[in-house]
Each structure stands twice: as structure tokens, then as C-alpha cells.
């Protein structure tokens, strides 16, 4: 026989009511008194595909010249485009990367650490990029094609030229603990366009194509710089807080990426004998220092947090900091 319980069957005696009330109050106190975790999503800058980290460093670009005027002009344009692209990516402002011309001396080894270190010292930089002289292959120029609209009275035709070139670039980062020279290079194709009245012979067309190589050098510099631009990744970081006005204030400042203000708030919360709260405040300060790029200070604050009361999320933060300070 099945028994059906009516609403009247759900009766509690006074002892049961007290037990449930105490249980509920304990749960509420556990929620309100214990630390809570809030996730903040941040776009973080990471080193480039090349592995070279330029963030916060003074950079200089040097290009070598020789008796080949065309190659030197191409090299200059490539260095200009390279520096311009990095300035845009790192937000350092136009002209913040110094560009220097240097005569290539026979027998000199510009790929050596000593050579690049001396150049770096002369330019006052932390990182130096050196563009070796470029070498060109054989140029080919296609037949002229009539334009729909004249560029100028004697430029109603355009011819596309192709010329292979090989470049080498060396990088030395004095702030990298490994202190090694990194070499980059490869072969690509420049494609300058030649405008004419349609009657130029191949010699004239090639001469015009060589003169138009400057723009191609600039584009080559932009392309090379792509390997040294930052990579951005969306990452999640934890902020720990308690149910009180001051902790909420620090949380809101972190949400608004006001890390300096948040640090001031969390420092004021360190004045307590509660080891858990002190640990949480120190942990948050570590996160803020990390966000501001001071990884060594972030490590010090995280160690301080661990000393008071190591949080379960501490190890993950240690890994992030260690990856930055290597």
C-alpha cells in the first residue's frame, strides 16, 4: 500500500527547527565571513613569435651601407618600416626607436656578440637590431599594360617588375640572461611597379624599377617586424575578497583596471591579525603588480601571502610570474 503524505504531515518539532536554523546561519556565516573569489578577464601581452621580448625596453635599429646605392637605399627603407611597425605595436611613439646608418667594413663579423654589444653601447639601447647589406637577384620586367587613367602625361602604361632579394638581420638583447645573438633572415620577392609611356626598353624599365625599390624596402621592413610584434591573449585572473565595504572597493578598482588605486586599498587591509585576510590582501597586491609589469615585486608579495596562509590559487600565480621573469 502506497502512503501519500499530505502537507499536514510536514511538521517539525522545536528541536528540529532550532537545528535547521543553526545550520542555515552557519552556512550564511561561512559565505559571508570566508574569502570569495572573483574572476577578471584581461588581454595580456606576450612575447612575439620570435621569442624576443621588447616590452619596456629601449630599442635601436642599425642598417649597414656599402658602395651599392640601391641596396643601401633599400636597407634604409627596410629599417624605417621595421622601426615604424614596432613603434606602433608597442605604443612607444614615432621616433622612439633610434635608426642608425653604419658603414660595412670588410672582414668585420657583425653577427658576433662583441660587435653587437659595442653597437648597443654606442646607441644607448637595451636591444639592437642590425640589418646586414641586402643582396639582389636577377630582375625581370613584364610588358607594359595600358592604364585606364593616366598617372601623368608620360605615364599611361605600367609594368610589373620582380626581383628576389636576400636579407640578414641580427638581434642582441642585453637584458636577456642568455646574452646570445639571434640571427634572422630569408629570401623574398620585391615587386616594384614602373610607369611609362609604353616605349621604354628593358634597360630603362629596369633602371626605373630599381629606383622604385624604396617602397618595397619599407614593405619588407613591415613584414619582418611582424615576427617581433606582441602576441595578445585573453587570460583570467582571480581577485580574492571578503564581504565588507573596503574589500568591495578594491574589487571594483581592479575591475576598472585601476591597479594603483587597488593596491592602496589592499595595503590598508594588511593591518590585521587575521592571517587569512592578510594573505588575501597580499595575494591581490601580487596580481596588481603583475598587471603593472613589475614581476619581481609580484613575486615578493606572493611569497608574503604564502607565508601568512598559502591560498589554493597561489601555485598557478607562481607559474605565471616565473614565466615572465625567466
Buried b (16+ CB within 10 A) or exposed e, 81-113: bbbbbbbebbebeeeebebeeeeeeeeeebbee
11 Cβ contact list (under 8 Å, min separation 6): none
C-alpha cell at 145: 599594360
pLDDT of residue 44: 85
List the beta bridge partners of residue 191. none
Q: In angstroms, rounded to a whole number, what is the distance separating the alpha carbons of residues 305 and 313? A: 11
Q: What is the chain's mean pLDDT, rounded? A: 86
Give the least confident one: 13-22, 68-77, 123-132, 278-287. Answer: 13-22
Helices (H), the chain: 14-33, 69-90, 113-123, 202-211, 213-225, 245-255, 259-268, 275-291, 295-309, 314-325
Tell me if 55 sits within 8 A of 93, measured CB to CB.
no
Residue 28 pLDDT > 50, yes or no?
A: no
List the chain domain ranges.
Answer: 35-43+231-325, 59-228
List the beta bridge partners of residue 161. 141
User: Which of 254, 299, 246 shows the shortest CA–CA distance to 277?
Assistant: 246
C-alpha cell at 309: 596562509
pLDDT band at 4 (very low <50, low <70, confident <90, very high): very low
Give the least confident one: 52-56, 147-151, 168-172. Answer: 147-151
CATH code linked to domain 35-43+231-325: 1.25.40.10
In order, the DSSP letters of 159-177 are: EEEEEEEEEEEEEEETTST
The model carries a pTM of 0.67
**Which tens digit of pLDDT belongs to each residue from 78-101?**
999 999 999 998 888 889 999 999
Q: In angstroms, rounded to a whole number, what is the distance separating the alpha carbons of residues 11 and 9? A: 6
pLDDT of residue 151: 66
pLDDT of residue 236: 94
More confident residue, 145 or 257: 257
Tell me if 82 sits within 8 A of 221, measured CB to CB.
yes
Which letter does DSSP use for residue 245 in this model? H
pLDDT of residue 212: 85
Dihedral of the CA atoms 300, 303, 308, 312 (nearest 10)?
Answer: 130
- CB atoms closer than 10 angstroms to residue 49: 12
Cell 630599381 belongs to: 210
Q: How far is CA 312 from CA 280, 309, 318, 323, in A?
A: 11, 10, 11, 19
Which letter does DSSP use for residue 313 in this model? T
pLDDT band at 8 (very low <50, low <70, confident <90, very high): very low
**Which tens digit of pLDDT belongs to each residue from 201-250?**
888 888 888 888 888 999 999 999 999 988 888 999 999 999 999 999 99
**Which tens digit of pLDDT belongs to each residue from 110-153?**
999 999 999 999 999 999 999 999 999 999 988 888 887 766 66
Residue 31 pLDDT > 60, yes or no?
A: no
Residue 263 pLDDT > 70, yes or no?
A: yes
pLDDT band at 2 (very low <50, low <70, confident <90, very high): very low
**Which tens digit of pLDDT belongs to each residue from 185-203?**
999 999 998 888 888 888 8
pLDDT of residue 203: 87
What is the CATH topology of the domain spanning 59-228?
Double Stranded RNA Binding Domain (3.30.160)
Amino acid at each position: 500500500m502506497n502512503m501519500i503524505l499530505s502537507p499536514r504531515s510536514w511538521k517539525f518539532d522545536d528541536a528540529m527547527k532550532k537545528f535547521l536554523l543553526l545550520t542555515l546561519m552557519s552556512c550564511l556565516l561561512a559565505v559571508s565571513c570566508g574569502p570569495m573569489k572573483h574572476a577578471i578577464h584581461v588581454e595580456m601581452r606576450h612575447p612575439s613569435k620570435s621569442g624576443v621580448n621588447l616590452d619596456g625596453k629601449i630599442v635601436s635599429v642599425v642598417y649597414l651601407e656599402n658602395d651599392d646605392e640601391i641596396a643601401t637605399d633599400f636597407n634604409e627603407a627596410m629599417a624605417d618600416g621595421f622601426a615604424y611597425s614596432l613603434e606602433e605595436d608597442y605604443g612607444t611613439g614615432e621616433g622612439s626607436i633610434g635608426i642608425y646608418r653604419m658603414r660595412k667594413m670588410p672582414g668585420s663579423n657583425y653577427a658576433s656578440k662583441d660587435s653587437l654589444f659595442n653597437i648597443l653601447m654606442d646607441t644607448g639601447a637595451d636591444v639592437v637590431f642590425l640589418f646586414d647589406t641586402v643582396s639582389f637577384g636577377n630582375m625581370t620586367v613584364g610588358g607594359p599594360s595600358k592604364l585606364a587613367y593616366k598617372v601623368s602625361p608620360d605615364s599611361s602604361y605600367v609594368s610589373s617588375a620582380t626581383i628576389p632579394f636576400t636579407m640578414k638581420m641580427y638581434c642582441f638583447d642585453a637584458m636577456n640572461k642568455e646574452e646570445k645573438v639571434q640571427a634572422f633572415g630569408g629570401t623574398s620577392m620585391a615587386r616594384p611597379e614602373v610607369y611609362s609611356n609604353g616605349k621604354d626598353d628593358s634597360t630603362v624599365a629596369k633602371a626605373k624599377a630599381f629606383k622604385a625599390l624604396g617602397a618595397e624596402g619599407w614593405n619588407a621592413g613591415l613584414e619582418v617586424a611582424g615576427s617581433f610584434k606582441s602576441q595578445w591573449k585573453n587570460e583570467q585572473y582571480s581577485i580574492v575578497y571578503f564581504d565588507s565595504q573596503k574589500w568591495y572597493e578594491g574589487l571594483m578598482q581592479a575591475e576598472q583596471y585601476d591597479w594603483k588605486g587597488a593596491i592602496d586599498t589592499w595595503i590598508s587591509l594588511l593591518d590585521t591579525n587575521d592571517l587569512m585576510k592578510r594573505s588575501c590582501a597580499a595575494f591581490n597586491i601580487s596580481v596588481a603588480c603583475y598587471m603593472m609589469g613589475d614581476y619581481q615585486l609580484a613575486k615578493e608579495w606572493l611569497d608574503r601571502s604564502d607565508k601568512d596562509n598559502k591560498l589554493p590559487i597561489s601555485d598557478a600565480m607562481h607559474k605565471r610570474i616565473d614565466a615572465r621573469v625567466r
